[in-house]
Copies of this chain bind each other. A is one copy, B any other.
Amino acid sequence: MARATLRDVAQKAGVSASTVSRVFSRPEMVAADVRERVEEIARELRYLPNPIARGLARQRTGNLGVIVPDIANPYFTPLVKSLQSDARARGCNVFVADTDEHASRERDLGIAMSQQVDGIVLASPRMGDDEVRALAADVPLITIGRLVEGVSGVGTPANNGIRQAVELLAAQGHRRIAYLDGPPQSFVAVQRRGATLDAAEEFGCSVEVFGPFQAAVNAGRRAADLVLASDVTAVIAYNDQIAFGCMARLKECGRRIPEDYSIVGIDDSSVAEYCEPRLTTVRVPIVKAGALGLDILWDLMNSPRDRTPIVEELEADLVVRRSTAAR
């Protein structure tokens, strides 16, 4: 079924191609009667402007790229969904791509995308600063989560919330804390570990670091056995999924949460609500960061290039639930 083209409509309506084009791009520029007739015929022929051709001519595609390390991670899904609907509200389609946590795939995808989207949202980039900057030089781009010098983005440092978590645990009488480290590719992981170490020092706790672990439930289960073999009384995990897995396994091994172990996650993704008991966690406002980032990206896309990068940071706070308690 060959699609109707602009010329088909123009011909049948007895007007020029430009007129039909205008009817679809700047309707106000064409006389009402002509416009209606064209629209009528277009409908008849089931004509729709070809976005590829339009993209070539306009030098803009109307597409937005979103790159995430793992679309199956419940931390990213709400971000993706909210970006999708925000973008749609602005008349953009969204290209989502998953890098499987690989920096190299992230780079390749970014390069491949850069020519078919008007802008890219790069969530928690795994590639190096230089590579991000190189990509940002080719296409309007913002990062979410991690900030890269010289590139616009919205950072979501968890330090504040992590400090609150350690403060809470210390107040609850915990002195020996396990930190379950995140995947080595994750820049955020080193931040979070550092924040935990700093806060522990501040509040007089010792920290034993386990890991690295992939950001997944099963990795957390593996962590639990390490925790059991140590003498810690509380656990802070790189993210909620690891915390969830660790908690599940600890319970399997007959430990009670929070009586025997206090557990803190990071992210406040949906799993935190589904844990039993519900998980105390650091709420990282990633959806808000995404919305803000999209605003920034929008400016970047619609304004003369070479602006100085716009950078925001959104703080994270601890959400206290049932998985932490006094010893």
The chain A residues found within 8 Å of chain B, CB to CB, are: 1, 3, 48, 50-53, 55-56, 61, 63, 71-72, 74, 77-78, 80-81, 84-85, 93-98, 100, 111-113, 115-116, 137-138, 217, 244, 248, 251, 270, 273-274, 276, 305
Contact = CB atoms under 8 A, between A and B. Distances in A.
Nearest to A95: B95
Contacts of A115: 3, 48, 50-52
Closest 3 CB pairs of A and B: A72-B77, A96-B96, A52-B55
Contacts of A72: 74, 77-78, 81, 270
Contacts of A78: 72
B1 A137 contact: yes
B274 A217 contact: yes
A53 B56 CA distance: 6
Contact of A244 (B53, B116, B274, B305): B274
Stoichiometry, copies per complex: 2
A149 B135 CA distance: 45
Nearest to A137: B1
A98 B77 CA distance: 11
A74 B74 CA distance: 9
Nearest to A245: B274
A94 B77 CA distance: 17
A112 B93 contact: yes
A55 B52 CA distance: 7
A41 to B, nearest CB: 18
Contacts of A1: 137-138, 305
A121 to B, nearest CB: 14
A98 B116 contact: no
A14 B125 CA distance: 40
A110 to B, nearest CB: 12
Given A52-B52, A71-B77, A94-B96, 8 more contacts: A48-B115, A71-B96, A72-B74, A85-B100, A93-B97, A93-B113, A95-B95, A217-B270
19 contacts: A1-B137, A3-B138, A50-B115, A51-B115, A52-B61, A52-B116, A56-B56, A63-B116, A71-B81, A72-B74, A72-B77, A72-B78, A72-B81, A80-B98, A93-B112, A95-B96, A96-B96, A217-B274, A248-B274
A80 to B, nearest CB: 6
Contact of A80 (B56, B71, B74): B71
Contact of A98 (B55, B81, B251, B273): B81
A111 B93 CA distance: 12
Contacts of A84: 97-98
Contacts of A274: 217, 244, 248
A270 to B, nearest CB: 8
